[in-house]
Amino acid sequence: MIHLNETESRILDANARWRGLSSLQLMENAGRAVAVEVLSRFRPARVAVLCGPGNNGGDGFVASRHLVAAGCRVAVILLSSEAGIRTVEAHRNWECLKASGVSAIAVPDSSGFREPLLRKSLASADVVVDAMLGGGQVGVPREPFKTAVKAVNALAAKRVCVDVPTGEGSSCRVNPDLTVSFELAKTRGAVVVGIGIPPAWKCLCGPGHVQALQRPRPAGRKGENGVLLAVGGSEEYSGAPLHSLRAAAGFVDLCLYHSPFALNLEAAKGLRREADVVVVPKRGLLAAARKSDAILIGPGLGVGGAQKKLVNYLCRAFGGSNKIVLDAGALKLVDKRFLNANFLLTPHAGEFKLIFGVEASGEACRKAAARYGCTILLKDKAVSGFDWVSDGKRLLKNASGVPQMTRGGTGDVLAGVAAAFSCKNPLPLSACAAAWLNGYAGELLRREKGSCFTATDLSRKLPEAFKNAVEF
Protein backbone atom coordinates (compact mmCIF):
# COMPACT_ATOMS: atom_id res chain seq x y z
CA MET A 1 0.00 0.00 0.00
CA ILE A 2 1.28 3.49 -0.87
CA HIS A 3 1.39 5.90 2.07
CA LEU A 4 1.18 9.65 1.48
CA ASN A 5 2.72 12.34 3.62
CA GLU A 6 0.93 15.66 4.07
CA THR A 7 2.75 17.33 1.17
CA GLU A 8 1.82 14.51 -1.20
CA SER A 9 -1.78 14.63 -0.02
CA ARG A 10 -1.98 18.37 -0.70
CA ILE A 11 -0.46 17.83 -4.14
CA LEU A 12 -3.09 15.21 -4.98
CA ASP A 13 -5.93 17.49 -3.84
CA ALA A 14 -4.59 20.49 -5.78
CA ASN A 15 -4.12 18.45 -8.95
CA ALA A 16 -7.68 17.11 -8.62
CA ARG A 17 -9.03 20.66 -8.28
CA TRP A 18 -7.08 21.72 -11.38
CA ARG A 19 -8.70 18.91 -13.33
CA GLY A 20 -12.22 19.93 -12.33
CA LEU A 21 -13.03 18.55 -8.87
CA SER A 22 -13.78 21.49 -6.57
CA SER A 23 -12.65 21.61 -2.94
CA LEU A 24 -16.32 21.61 -1.96
CA GLN A 25 -16.93 18.41 -3.94
CA LEU A 26 -13.91 16.73 -2.37
CA MET A 27 -15.05 17.73 1.14
CA GLU A 28 -18.59 16.48 0.48
CA ASN A 29 -17.27 13.16 -0.81
CA ALA A 30 -14.87 12.79 2.13
CA GLY A 31 -17.44 13.54 4.81
CA ARG A 32 -20.02 11.26 3.25
CA ALA A 33 -17.43 8.45 3.07
CA VAL A 34 -16.69 8.83 6.79
CA ALA A 35 -20.38 8.66 7.61
CA VAL A 36 -20.79 5.51 5.52
CA GLU A 37 -17.91 3.80 7.35
CA VAL A 38 -19.28 4.77 10.77
CA LEU A 39 -22.78 3.55 9.94
CA SER A 40 -21.73 0.28 8.31
CA ARG A 41 -19.24 -0.73 10.99
CA PHE A 42 -20.80 0.46 14.25
CA ARG A 43 -24.52 1.22 13.64
CA PRO A 44 -24.52 3.93 16.33
CA ALA A 45 -27.55 5.66 17.81
CA ARG A 46 -25.57 8.61 19.18
CA VAL A 47 -22.45 10.17 17.69
CA ALA A 48 -20.23 13.02 18.90
CA VAL A 49 -18.13 14.71 16.22
CA LEU A 50 -15.20 16.88 17.34
CA CYS A 51 -14.20 19.31 14.59
CA GLY A 52 -11.27 21.65 14.15
CA PRO A 53 -11.40 24.96 12.26
CA GLY A 54 -9.79 23.69 9.04
CA ASN A 55 -10.77 21.34 6.24
CA ASN A 56 -10.50 18.29 8.49
CA GLY A 57 -13.23 19.88 10.57
CA GLY A 58 -15.13 20.61 7.36
CA ASP A 59 -15.07 16.88 6.60
CA GLY A 60 -16.52 16.38 10.09
CA PHE A 61 -19.33 18.86 9.43
CA VAL A 62 -20.29 16.96 6.27
CA ALA A 63 -20.10 13.59 8.05
CA SER A 64 -22.36 14.94 10.80
CA ARG A 65 -24.98 16.01 8.27
CA HIS A 66 -25.01 12.58 6.64
CA LEU A 67 -25.18 10.82 10.02
CA VAL A 68 -28.21 12.93 10.95
CA ALA A 69 -29.81 12.08 7.61
CA ALA A 70 -29.32 8.39 8.47
CA GLY A 71 -31.19 8.80 11.75
CA CYS A 72 -28.36 9.23 14.26
CA ARG A 73 -28.47 11.73 17.10
CA VAL A 74 -25.38 13.83 16.52
CA ALA A 75 -23.61 16.40 18.69
CA VAL A 76 -21.00 18.54 16.96
CA ILE A 77 -18.22 20.08 19.05
CA LEU A 78 -16.30 22.84 17.29
CA LEU A 79 -12.87 23.39 18.86
CA SER A 80 -12.81 27.02 17.82
CA SER A 81 -15.06 30.02 17.71
CA GLU A 82 -17.38 30.18 14.72
CA ALA A 83 -15.37 33.15 13.41
CA GLY A 84 -12.22 31.02 13.65
CA ILE A 85 -13.27 28.58 10.92
CA ARG A 86 -10.43 28.98 8.45
CA THR A 87 -11.60 27.90 5.00
CA VAL A 88 -14.48 28.88 2.76
CA GLU A 89 -15.46 25.24 2.24
CA ALA A 90 -15.50 24.42 5.96
CA HIS A 91 -17.49 27.55 6.76
CA ARG A 92 -20.07 26.75 4.09
CA ASN A 93 -20.59 23.26 5.52
CA TRP A 94 -20.82 24.72 9.03
CA GLU A 95 -23.67 26.93 7.83
CA CYS A 96 -25.38 23.91 6.23
CA LEU A 97 -25.02 22.04 9.50
CA LYS A 98 -26.57 24.83 11.56
CA ALA A 99 -29.47 25.07 9.10
CA SER A 100 -30.16 21.36 9.59
CA GLY A 101 -30.79 21.86 13.32
CA VAL A 102 -27.87 19.76 14.54
CA SER A 103 -26.75 20.37 18.12
CA ALA A 104 -23.46 22.31 17.92
CA ILE A 105 -21.20 23.51 20.73
CA ALA A 106 -18.28 25.91 20.17
CA VAL A 107 -15.32 25.29 22.48
CA PRO A 108 -12.64 27.89 21.77
CA ASP A 109 -10.57 26.95 24.85
CA SER A 110 -10.06 23.96 27.14
CA SER A 111 -12.36 25.33 29.87
CA GLY A 112 -15.30 24.33 27.68
CA PHE A 113 -14.67 20.68 28.49
CA ARG A 114 -15.93 21.34 32.03
CA GLU A 115 -19.37 22.28 30.70
CA PRO A 116 -22.04 19.70 31.67
CA LEU A 117 -23.70 19.70 28.22
CA LEU A 118 -20.46 18.91 26.46
CA ARG A 119 -19.50 16.21 28.96
CA LYS A 120 -22.94 14.65 28.57
CA SER A 121 -22.67 14.70 24.75
CA LEU A 122 -19.37 12.86 24.91
CA ALA A 123 -20.35 10.38 27.60
CA SER A 124 -23.58 9.34 25.86
CA ALA A 125 -21.98 8.77 22.43
CA ASP A 126 -21.63 5.29 20.95
CA VAL A 127 -19.05 6.65 18.48
CA VAL A 128 -16.79 9.68 18.71
CA VAL A 129 -15.45 11.07 15.41
CA ASP A 130 -12.11 12.88 15.54
CA ALA A 131 -12.12 15.54 12.81
CA MET A 132 -9.97 17.97 14.77
CA LEU A 133 -6.60 18.13 13.02
CA GLY A 134 -5.62 16.61 9.70
CA GLY A 135 -2.20 16.03 8.19
CA GLY A 136 0.67 18.41 8.70
CA GLN A 137 0.53 18.25 12.49
CA VAL A 138 3.81 18.83 14.29
CA GLY A 139 4.38 17.93 17.92
CA VAL A 140 1.91 17.71 20.78
CA PRO A 141 -1.43 19.38 19.95
CA ARG A 142 -1.99 22.78 21.51
CA GLU A 143 -5.07 23.58 23.59
CA PRO A 144 -7.96 22.98 23.37
CA PHE A 145 -7.01 20.01 21.20
CA LYS A 146 -4.72 18.51 23.84
CA THR A 147 -7.55 18.40 26.37
CA ALA A 148 -9.90 17.05 23.70
CA VAL A 149 -7.53 14.19 22.85
CA LYS A 150 -7.32 13.15 26.49
CA ALA A 151 -11.10 13.35 26.88
CA VAL A 152 -11.72 11.25 23.78
CA ASN A 153 -9.24 8.56 24.79
CA ALA A 154 -10.95 8.26 28.21
CA LEU A 155 -14.32 7.40 26.68
CA ALA A 156 -15.80 3.93 26.24
CA ALA A 157 -17.12 4.92 22.80
CA LYS A 158 -15.58 3.74 19.54
CA ARG A 159 -13.11 6.30 18.19
CA VAL A 160 -13.07 7.08 14.46
CA CYS A 161 -10.37 9.42 13.09
CA VAL A 162 -10.75 11.40 9.88
CA ASP A 163 -7.73 11.00 7.55
CA VAL A 164 -5.19 10.85 10.43
CA PRO A 165 -5.56 10.77 14.23
CA THR A 166 -5.22 14.13 15.95
CA GLY A 167 -1.79 14.24 17.58
CA GLU A 168 -0.34 11.73 15.11
CA GLY A 169 3.37 11.28 15.77
CA SER A 170 3.27 12.81 19.25
CA SER A 171 2.82 11.59 22.81
CA CYS A 172 -0.72 13.01 22.89
CA ARG A 173 -2.63 11.21 20.14
CA VAL A 174 -6.18 9.96 19.68
CA ASN A 175 -6.09 6.16 19.89
CA PRO A 176 -8.41 5.11 17.06
CA ASP A 177 -10.55 2.04 16.61
CA LEU A 178 -10.79 3.13 12.96
CA THR A 179 -8.98 5.70 10.82
CA VAL A 180 -10.59 6.62 7.51
CA SER A 181 -8.04 7.97 5.00
CA PHE A 182 -8.98 9.43 1.64
CA GLU A 183 -7.70 7.91 -1.63
CA LEU A 184 -4.34 6.77 -0.19
CA ALA A 185 -3.26 5.88 3.34
CA LYS A 186 -1.84 8.71 5.46
CA THR A 187 -1.16 6.50 8.48
CA ARG A 188 -0.60 2.81 9.10
CA GLY A 189 -3.70 0.69 9.59
CA ALA A 190 -6.02 3.19 7.95
CA VAL A 191 -9.03 2.14 5.91
CA VAL A 192 -8.76 3.86 2.54
CA VAL A 193 -11.89 5.22 0.86
CA GLY A 194 -12.33 6.95 -2.47
CA ILE A 195 -13.52 10.54 -2.73
CA GLY A 196 -13.96 10.67 -6.49
CA ILE A 197 -10.36 11.10 -7.66
CA PRO A 198 -9.77 8.76 -10.65
CA PRO A 199 -6.85 6.34 -10.11
CA ALA A 200 -5.05 7.67 -13.20
CA TRP A 201 -4.83 11.13 -11.62
CA LYS A 202 -2.85 9.85 -8.64
CA CYS A 203 0.31 9.41 -10.67
CA LEU A 204 0.04 12.59 -12.78
CA CYS A 205 2.19 15.68 -12.35
CA GLY A 206 0.30 18.94 -11.99
CA PRO A 207 0.17 22.40 -10.42
CA GLY A 208 0.06 20.81 -6.99
CA HIS A 209 3.73 19.95 -7.44
CA VAL A 210 4.47 23.59 -8.23
CA GLN A 211 2.51 24.72 -5.17
CA ALA A 212 4.55 22.36 -2.99
CA LEU A 213 7.86 24.02 -3.90
CA GLN A 214 9.64 26.14 -1.32
CA ARG A 215 8.63 29.78 -1.71
CA PRO A 216 11.02 32.71 -1.33
CA ARG A 217 10.97 34.28 2.13
CA PRO A 218 9.90 37.95 2.07
CA ALA A 219 12.81 39.02 4.29
CA GLY A 220 15.37 36.51 3.03
CA ARG A 221 18.97 37.29 2.15
CA LYS A 222 20.41 36.94 -1.35
CA GLY A 223 21.31 33.33 -1.99
CA GLU A 224 18.74 31.83 0.39
CA ASN A 225 16.45 31.04 -2.53
CA GLY A 226 19.08 29.17 -4.48
CA VAL A 227 22.38 29.53 -6.29
CA LEU A 228 22.67 27.57 -9.52
CA LEU A 229 25.84 26.81 -11.47
CA ALA A 230 25.36 25.80 -15.12
CA VAL A 231 28.20 24.16 -17.04
CA GLY A 232 27.78 23.65 -20.77
CA GLY A 233 28.11 25.02 -24.26
CA SER A 234 30.38 24.16 -27.16
CA GLU A 235 31.51 25.59 -30.48
CA GLU A 236 28.46 24.03 -32.15
CA TYR A 237 25.88 24.74 -29.43
CA SER A 238 26.35 28.09 -27.77
CA GLY A 239 22.63 28.82 -27.35
CA ALA A 240 21.59 25.75 -25.35
CA PRO A 241 22.98 26.82 -21.96
CA LEU A 242 21.59 30.31 -22.48
CA HIS A 243 18.08 28.86 -22.79
CA SER A 244 18.65 26.97 -19.53
CA LEU A 245 19.97 30.04 -17.73
CA ARG A 246 17.18 32.29 -18.97
CA ALA A 247 14.60 29.77 -17.74
CA ALA A 248 16.28 29.25 -14.36
CA ALA A 249 17.00 32.88 -13.54
CA GLY A 250 13.47 33.72 -12.43
CA PHE A 251 13.41 30.96 -9.81
CA VAL A 252 16.76 31.35 -8.03
CA ASP A 253 18.68 34.24 -6.52
CA LEU A 254 21.78 33.79 -8.65
CA CYS A 255 22.87 31.91 -11.78
CA LEU A 256 26.55 31.17 -12.36
CA TYR A 257 27.75 29.99 -15.77
CA HIS A 258 30.92 28.30 -16.93
CA SER A 259 31.72 27.04 -20.42
CA PRO A 260 34.91 25.38 -21.66
CA PHE A 261 34.69 27.68 -24.70
CA ALA A 262 35.49 31.36 -24.27
CA LEU A 263 33.10 32.48 -27.03
CA ASN A 264 30.18 30.99 -25.07
CA LEU A 265 31.14 33.02 -22.03
CA GLU A 266 31.08 36.17 -24.12
CA ALA A 267 27.63 35.26 -25.45
CA ALA A 268 26.35 34.70 -21.91
CA LYS A 269 27.27 38.23 -20.90
CA GLY A 270 24.37 39.40 -23.03
CA LEU A 271 21.97 37.70 -20.62
CA ARG A 272 22.85 40.23 -17.94
CA ARG A 273 20.29 42.58 -19.45
CA GLU A 274 17.44 40.21 -18.56
CA ALA A 275 18.78 37.79 -15.93
CA ASP A 276 21.19 37.81 -13.01
CA VAL A 277 23.92 35.65 -14.59
CA VAL A 278 27.55 35.71 -13.48
CA VAL A 279 30.09 34.36 -15.95
CA VAL A 280 32.68 32.11 -14.28
CA PRO A 281 36.13 31.60 -15.84
CA LYS A 282 38.01 28.32 -15.50
CA ARG A 283 40.01 29.47 -12.49
CA GLY A 284 36.79 30.27 -10.59
CA LEU A 285 34.90 27.05 -11.39
CA LEU A 286 35.60 25.15 -8.16
CA ALA A 287 34.73 28.14 -5.98
CA ALA A 288 31.49 28.60 -7.92
CA ALA A 289 30.62 24.91 -7.48
CA ARG A 290 31.19 25.16 -3.73
CA LYS A 291 28.94 28.21 -3.58
CA SER A 292 26.10 26.63 -5.51
CA ASP A 293 23.16 24.59 -4.25
CA ALA A 294 22.78 22.74 -7.55
CA ILE A 295 24.93 22.22 -10.64
CA LEU A 296 23.41 21.79 -14.08
CA ILE A 297 25.88 20.04 -16.38
CA GLY A 298 25.40 19.36 -20.06
CA PRO A 299 23.27 21.78 -22.09
CA GLY A 300 25.11 22.21 -25.38
CA LEU A 301 28.21 20.48 -24.03
CA GLY A 302 30.45 18.63 -26.47
CA VAL A 303 31.36 14.99 -25.99
CA GLY A 304 35.15 15.02 -26.34
CA GLY A 305 37.78 13.77 -23.92
CA ALA A 306 38.21 17.11 -22.15
CA GLN A 307 34.48 17.41 -21.57
CA LYS A 308 34.29 13.86 -20.24
CA LYS A 309 37.05 14.62 -17.77
CA LEU A 310 35.26 17.80 -16.65
CA VAL A 311 31.87 16.11 -16.22
CA ASN A 312 33.19 13.23 -14.16
CA TYR A 313 35.43 15.44 -12.05
CA LEU A 314 32.45 17.59 -11.06
CA CYS A 315 30.28 14.54 -10.41
CA ARG A 316 32.93 12.88 -8.26
CA ALA A 317 33.92 16.04 -6.37
CA PHE A 318 30.47 17.51 -5.73
CA GLY A 319 27.99 14.65 -6.10
CA GLY A 320 28.03 14.06 -2.35
CA SER A 321 27.29 17.65 -1.37
CA ASN A 322 25.42 19.36 -4.22
CA LYS A 323 22.35 18.48 -6.24
CA ILE A 324 23.56 17.67 -9.76
CA VAL A 325 21.32 17.76 -12.84
CA LEU A 326 22.73 16.01 -15.91
CA ASP A 327 21.37 16.90 -19.33
CA ALA A 328 22.30 16.46 -23.00
CA GLY A 329 26.07 16.00 -23.48
CA ALA A 330 26.76 15.17 -19.85
CA LEU A 331 24.43 12.16 -20.05
CA LYS A 332 26.69 10.60 -22.68
CA LEU A 333 29.85 11.23 -20.67
CA VAL A 334 29.03 10.49 -17.03
CA ASP A 335 30.43 7.43 -15.31
CA LYS A 336 27.32 5.83 -13.81
CA ARG A 337 29.32 4.72 -10.77
CA PHE A 338 29.13 8.31 -9.51
CA LEU A 339 25.31 8.44 -9.55
CA ASN A 340 23.48 8.67 -6.23
CA ALA A 341 20.43 10.28 -4.63
CA ASN A 342 21.80 13.78 -5.34
CA PHE A 343 21.55 13.27 -9.11
CA LEU A 344 18.71 14.11 -11.49
CA LEU A 345 19.05 12.89 -15.07
CA THR A 346 16.91 14.40 -17.87
CA PRO A 347 17.33 12.16 -20.95
CA HIS A 348 15.07 11.91 -23.97
CA ALA A 349 14.22 8.40 -25.19
CA GLY A 350 17.31 8.06 -27.39
CA GLU A 351 19.67 9.22 -24.67
CA PHE A 352 17.99 6.89 -22.18
CA LYS A 353 18.66 3.87 -24.39
CA LEU A 354 22.25 4.98 -24.93
CA ILE A 355 22.87 5.36 -21.18
CA PHE A 356 21.03 2.33 -19.82
CA GLY A 357 20.98 -0.04 -22.80
CA VAL A 358 17.21 -0.60 -22.84
CA GLU A 359 14.27 0.94 -24.66
CA ALA A 360 12.71 3.90 -22.89
CA SER A 361 9.45 3.36 -21.00
CA GLY A 362 7.95 4.29 -17.67
CA GLU A 363 8.88 0.99 -16.05
CA ALA A 364 12.40 1.13 -17.50
CA CYS A 365 12.72 4.61 -16.01
CA ARG A 366 11.72 3.34 -12.58
CA LYS A 367 14.08 0.37 -12.72
CA ALA A 368 17.04 2.48 -13.84
CA ALA A 369 16.39 5.03 -11.08
CA ALA A 370 16.20 2.22 -8.52
CA ARG A 371 19.37 0.57 -9.76
CA TYR A 372 21.48 3.71 -9.64
CA GLY A 373 19.77 5.40 -6.69
CA CYS A 374 19.06 8.60 -8.62
CA THR A 375 16.03 10.48 -9.96
CA ILE A 376 15.23 10.36 -13.69
CA LEU A 377 13.02 12.68 -15.73
CA LEU A 378 12.51 10.79 -18.98
CA LYS A 379 11.26 12.93 -21.88
CA ASP A 380 9.21 10.34 -23.76
CA LYS A 381 6.23 12.24 -25.16
CA ALA A 382 7.07 11.40 -28.78
CA VAL A 383 6.66 7.67 -28.03
CA SER A 384 4.39 7.20 -25.00
CA GLY A 385 2.75 10.63 -24.83
CA PHE A 386 4.21 11.29 -21.37
CA ASP A 387 7.27 12.47 -19.51
CA TRP A 388 8.16 10.00 -16.77
CA VAL A 389 9.60 10.84 -13.35
CA SER A 390 10.92 8.27 -10.90
CA ASP A 391 13.22 8.02 -7.91
CA GLY A 392 13.07 4.23 -8.10
CA LYS A 393 10.18 4.03 -5.63
CA ARG A 394 7.30 5.90 -7.25
CA LEU A 395 6.64 6.46 -10.95
CA LEU A 396 4.78 9.60 -12.01
CA LYS A 397 3.95 10.88 -15.45
CA ASN A 398 3.40 14.29 -17.01
CA ALA A 399 0.96 14.95 -19.82
CA SER A 400 1.23 18.74 -20.15
CA GLY A 401 2.73 20.25 -23.29
CA VAL A 402 2.14 20.64 -27.02
CA PRO A 403 3.69 19.09 -30.16
CA GLN A 404 5.65 22.27 -30.90
CA MET A 405 7.82 21.57 -27.85
CA THR A 406 9.98 19.21 -29.86
CA ARG A 407 11.72 22.32 -31.19
CA GLY A 408 15.34 22.98 -30.39
CA GLY A 409 15.98 24.56 -27.00
CA THR A 410 12.77 23.54 -25.25
CA GLY A 411 14.57 20.66 -23.54
CA ASP A 412 17.24 23.11 -22.37
CA VAL A 413 14.49 25.26 -20.87
CA LEU A 414 13.17 22.22 -18.99
CA ALA A 415 16.65 21.36 -17.70
CA GLY A 416 17.10 24.91 -16.44
CA VAL A 417 13.79 24.95 -14.59
CA ALA A 418 14.41 21.52 -13.04
CA ALA A 419 17.88 22.59 -11.90
CA ALA A 420 16.55 25.85 -10.44
CA PHE A 421 13.84 24.02 -8.46
CA SER A 422 16.41 21.46 -7.31
CA CYS A 423 18.38 24.11 -5.45
CA LYS A 424 15.94 24.13 -2.53
CA ASN A 425 13.61 21.18 -3.13
CA PRO A 426 13.73 17.37 -3.29
CA LEU A 427 14.71 16.11 -6.74
CA PRO A 428 11.53 14.08 -7.48
CA LEU A 429 9.35 17.08 -6.60
CA SER A 430 11.58 19.39 -8.65
CA ALA A 431 11.37 17.11 -11.68
CA CYS A 432 7.58 16.78 -11.49
CA ALA A 433 7.05 20.51 -11.01
CA ALA A 434 9.44 21.41 -13.83
CA ALA A 435 7.98 18.91 -16.30
CA TRP A 436 4.43 20.08 -15.70
CA LEU A 437 5.27 23.80 -15.63
CA ASN A 438 7.34 23.64 -18.82
CA GLY A 439 4.52 21.86 -20.62
CA TYR A 440 1.85 24.18 -19.27
CA ALA A 441 3.86 27.23 -20.41
CA GLY A 442 3.87 25.66 -23.88
CA GLU A 443 0.09 25.28 -23.73
CA LEU A 444 -0.28 28.96 -22.83
CA LEU A 445 1.97 29.92 -25.73
CA ARG A 446 -0.01 27.87 -28.22
CA ARG A 447 -3.20 29.66 -27.17
CA GLU A 448 -1.45 33.00 -27.62
CA LYS A 449 0.78 32.43 -30.65
CA GLY A 450 -0.53 29.29 -32.30
CA SER A 451 2.20 26.99 -33.52
CA CYS A 452 4.82 29.74 -33.99
CA PHE A 453 6.95 30.08 -30.87
CA THR A 454 10.55 29.50 -29.83
CA ALA A 455 12.44 28.26 -26.79
CA THR A 456 13.06 31.89 -25.83
CA ASP A 457 9.30 32.49 -25.91
CA LEU A 458 8.86 29.43 -23.72
CA SER A 459 11.32 30.58 -21.05
CA ARG A 460 9.68 34.02 -20.97
CA LYS A 461 6.25 32.42 -20.46
CA LEU A 462 7.32 30.53 -17.36
CA PRO A 463 6.62 33.32 -14.82
CA GLU A 464 2.99 33.60 -15.98
CA ALA A 465 2.58 29.82 -15.89
CA PHE A 466 4.07 29.70 -12.39
CA LYS A 467 1.78 32.47 -11.15
CA ASN A 468 -1.28 30.69 -12.54
CA ALA A 469 -0.24 27.44 -10.87
CA VAL A 470 0.28 28.85 -7.39
CA GLU A 471 -2.76 31.14 -7.38
CA PHE A 472 -5.54 29.05 -8.90
Q: Is the pLDDT of residue 423 over 80?
A: yes
Q: Please give the mean pLDDT across all residues of the chain.
A: 91
pLDDT at residue 85 is higher than 80: yes
Q: What is the pLDDT of residue 2?
A: 47
Tell me the CA distances in angstroms from 362 to 161, 271, 359, 384, one per residue in order: 36, 36, 10, 9
pLDDT in tens, 17-55: 999 999 999 999 999 999 999 999 999 999 999 999 999
- What residue spans of 335-409 are helical by DSSP H? 349-356, 362-372, 381-384
pLDDT of residue 273: 62
Q: What is the pLDDT of residue 220?
A: 65
Q: Which pLDDT value is given to residue 278?
A: 86
For the chain, give the percent of residues with pLDDT over 90: 75
Buried b (16+ CB within 10 A) or exposed e, 222-261: eeebbbbbbbbbbeebbbbbbbbbbbbbbbbbbbbbbbbb
Q: What is the pLDDT of residues 263-303, one digit of tens each?
A: 666 666 666 665 678 888 889 999 999 999 999 999 999 89
**Could you report the per-residue pLDDT of 356-401, keeping only the tens digit for each?**
999 999 999 999 999 999 999 999 988 888 999 999 999 999 999 9
Half-sphere exposure of 463 (CA within 13 A, CB side): 8
Looking at residues 163-173, what average pLDDT do you find? 92
According to the model, what pLDDT value does residue 271 have?
64
Of 181-190, 220-229, 299-308, 423-432, give the lowest mean pLDDT range: 220-229
Taking 80 as the threshold, does the pLDDT of residue 217 lie above it? no
What is the reported pTM?
0.89
Q: What is the mean pLDDT of residues 117-135?
A: 92
**CA–CA dist 390, 265 (Å, integer):** 34
